[in-house]
Structure 1
Amino acid sequence: MVWRTWAPQMRILAHKSIGGFLTHCGWSSVIEGLQVGCPLIMLPFQNEQMLVARFMEGKKLGVKVSKNQHDGKFTRDSVAKALRSVMLEEEGKSYRCQAEELSKIVGDKELHQKYVDEFVDYMEIHRLAIKDY
């Protein structure tokens, strides 16, 4: 299947048949995957993507695809190995569980709305205090 416009990524990731999310580790994509409990197969290419991948790997939320030591490139075998380890093998069970557990926080819209409301209230109180100063 070839999708020629923006794909409905959240709908796709939330589907029960999805066993993992192959991502470049852009922050928005990572958050979308974690909102629905997808373990991550991380293929970072540049800058902050590498930092995000390292952080997510440290939190046991997925596996970073390893690069070829000779030329620093990803290989089809390393991508396949990472996909299998997260989605099929026993070691991937912990990644799947961690992602599912984190989705209870990252995917909780009411909790995030509460945080935003509290932040706005805090800023309003302090803006008034500074204005009166």
Structure 2
Amino acid sequence: MRILAHKSVGGFMTSCGWSSVIESLQVGCPLVMLPFQIDQFVVAWFMEEKRVGVKVQRSEHDGKFTGESLANALRSMMLEKTYRNEAKEMSKIFGDKELHQKYADEFVEYMEIHRPAIKD
């Protein structure tokens, strides 16, 4: 987390596993996304929609990532300020420990109130 939060880090290259994406957004670090598996494509699509990162495009010929597509994604993420700005905005939610604790407390309270009666 300290590395991702360091001011010299311009972005985080990730396969879009949910835990990695959350860690990056907790500190407002934009993403360069290389999804490989089923759920990673969904996460990458969603993060691209939120403009917190850029997905590396695959070759139409063989479906592989190319050096050029990686360079294009890196260049886009580094030059376009929107990605960093939106990632910083997301950090207000992902990085707010008090908000997370509030949600957890409310969930536990809800479960206690709506607990099914145990039959003897």
Aligned counterpart for 1:81 among listed residues 72, 79, 91: 72
In structure 2, C-alpha distance between the alignment counterparts of 1:110 and 1:26, rounded to whole Å: 24
| Regions of 4+ moved over 3 Å | none
Aligned counterpart for 1:33 among listed residues 24, 33, 49: 24
Q: What's 1:126 paired with? A: 114
In structure 1, C-alpha distance between the alignment counterparts of 2:25 and 2:45, rounded to whole Å: 15
Aligned counterpart for 2:82 among listed residues 94, 103, 107: 94
- The unaligned stretches of length 5 or more in structure 2 are none
TM-score (norm 2): 0.94
In structure 1, C-alpha distance between the alignment counterparts of 2:41 and 2:107, rounded to whole Å: 30
RMSD between aligned alpha carbons? Answer: 1.2
- The unaligned stretches of length 5 or more in structure 1 are 1-9
Q: What's 2:99 paired with? A: 111
Shift of 1:35: 0.4
In structure 2, C-alpha distance between the alignment counterparts of 1:63 and 1:132, rounded to whole Å: 50
In structure 1, C-alpha distance between the alignment counterparts of 2:38 and 2:103, rounded to whole Å: 29
In structure 1, C-alpha distance between the alignment counterparts of 2:86 and 2:24, rounded to whole Å: 12
Q: What's 1:71 paired with? A: 62
**Number of aligned positions between the proteins:** 119
Q: What's 1:5 paired with? A: none
Shift of 1:132: 7.1
TM-score (norm 1): 0.85
> Is the partner of 1:131 in helix, strand or coil?
coil
Q: What's 1:42 paired with? A: 33
1:21 partner letter: F
In structure 1, C-alpha distance between the alignment counterparts of 2:20 and 2:71, rounded to whole Å: 20
Identity %: 70
1:14 partner letter: A
2:57 partner letter: S
> Is the partner of 2:13 in helix, strand or coil?
strand
